[in-house]
Amino acid sequence: MKLNKTVLAVAIAGIAAAPMMASATTTLTGVVEMKFQGSDDDAPGMNANEEVDEVGEAEIAPGDVLFGFSSSQALNSGLTGYGSLRLDMNSFSNGTSGTSDSVYVGIKGGFGDLRMGEVANPGEYGQISDAFFDMGSDIDQGVGYVGSFGGATVGASYSPATNQDIFGVGAKFAWNGLSIGAGMQNFDELTNISASVGFAYAGASIALGFGQIEDGAGDDDETHIKAKIGYAIAGVDLGLTYEVEQESEDSGVRFDAGYDLGGGMRVSTRINAFVDGADVDATVADGGDKTDWRILFSKVF
């Protein structure tokens, strides 16, 4: 009888533990950002209440406001299955409903990471900054693969969606502070490429980048040269980025500074100064010079 009770107890314990072992790990995630911002833009625009507003006026506005769930679970094959559903709440502040964001499912393991839905764009692997000239596009209706082999990472992504039609490949390598990256993206039959090299040591970093965007209108392709220096220590990070588009001579300088307050809280500031190489005397409304700034408070949970 004693043996039977022991066997029964073990069986019950096993049955009770099985659902726990098979259950997924689900995490609540979110971001809330508020910013105080302004610019010297004189062009009038429409505010959230559809009233004429001076764009350059200083204002307090929401940044990213996101809420969602991510889940992962070990599979019988030794792989890990995962998924994410996140809602973009920014539109609620404008009186409209929220939209889905970061929606994807995937499987990862020793072979790499295979994902469907919103996927990374490896065509941006060679891009050090999208401050003024961005060669990449978000892929939210595609399939992507990322694999890491030693210090090298390779990626490929594809979206057949009619409003995207994107294919991208890229590779990047990191070793002892040295980083090298290159990427190619074909967007609606137009090809963009990027390449960069960087080095980081004792909190300081420097990077140089090159990008070329094909012009489908028959004009010359856009060639972008970028440089970025940064420094981070004790929760403080600083960055200075310079970008120039060679054909038009448009250029921009961005200064970033941030401080990690702990507990997912962060405060940062950013100043952008853009120079229109075609006509530096033009007004901002005509595409001339422009300076904008922001102070951002954020909480991640």
DSSP structure class, residue 13:
H
The answer to whether residue 174 sits within a structural domain is: yes
Give the 3-state secondary structure of residue 104: strand
Tell me whether residue 49 is in a domain: no
128 assigned to some structural domain: yes
Domain annotation covers residue 20:
no
pLDDT at 155: 97
The confidence score (pLDDT) of residue 154 equals: 97
- Please report the pLDDT score of residue 164 as a whole number: 76
Contact 121, 185 (CB under 8 A): yes
Tokens for 93, please give them. 């502040």
Nearest to 129, CA basis, from 270, 293, 299, 31: 270
Query: Are 145 and 167 in contact, with CB atoms under 8 Å apart?
Result: no
Rounded to whole angstroms, how far apart are CA atoms 101 and 138? Answer: 11
Structural domain tally of the chain? Answer: 1
Whole-number pLDDT of residue 54: 54
- Domain for residue 212, yes or no? yes
Residue 62 included in any domain: no
**188 is in which domain, residue-wise?**
121-220
CB 56 within 8 A of CB 40: yes
Q: Give every residue of the chain whose pLDDT is below 70, as ranges.
A: 1-23, 41-56, 91-101, 216-219, 278-288
Residue 158 lies in a domain: yes
Residue 236 lies in a domain: no
Token digits of residue 206? 């420097």
